[in-house]
Amino acid sequence: MVQYTGTRFDASFGALSDATRRGVLEQLGRVDASITDLAKKFHMTLTGMKKHVGVLEQAGLVTTEKVGRVRTCKLGLRRLEEEAAWIERYRQIWAVRFEELDKVIAEQRRKEKVDGRKQRKKRE
């Protein structure tokens, strides 16, 4: 079993757990933006957006650079490859389980169909 650093995953998944932060990442995927621009786009206060950007920055998903009075945000270097691999592993586990469940359900339906025919024949 592959071991992952819990704190790194915690930071990543914690950052991604908020819809606003996911929206910020989507926006920054299109174009770099200042915290002020992001705050306007998401209809929130500058302080609120600074907090969201801070969480993203701690997770390594966003970097900021201050030039004069403007703090510009851009996507960080983290590409979430380890997190995606972790999710994929569990997706595969669940896919196998659902395939097995489908087989059980199909077999149960087949038996019910056969039993239904037997009962109709008994009544005739």
pLDDT tens per residue, range 71-106:
999 999 888 888 899 899 999 999 999 999 999 999
- Mean of per-residue pLDDT scores for the chain: 89
Task: Tell me the residue length of the chain.
Answer: 124
Tens of pLDDT, residues 107-118: 998 888 877 766
70 has a pLDDT exceeding 90: yes
Q: At what angle do helices 46-58 and 19-30 cross, to 10 degrees?
A: 80
Task: State the architecture of 6-75 in CATH terms.
Answer: Orthogonal Bundle (1.10)
Using the predicted structure, report yes or no on whether residue 1 has a pLDDT greater than 50: no
d(CA 97, CA 77): 35
Provide the 10 A C-beta neighbour count for residue 104. Answer: 9
The neighbour count for residue 74, using CB atoms within 10 Å, is 13
Distance from C-alpha of 50 to C-alpha of 36, rounded to nearest angstrom: 9
Query: Tell me, what's the pLDDT at 80?
Result: 87
CA separation for the pair 93, 34 (Å, rounded): 41
pTM value surpassing 0.85: no
CB atoms within 10 A of CB 21: 21
Alpha helices in 17-124, H assignment, sequence order: 19-30, 35-41, 46-58, 81-123
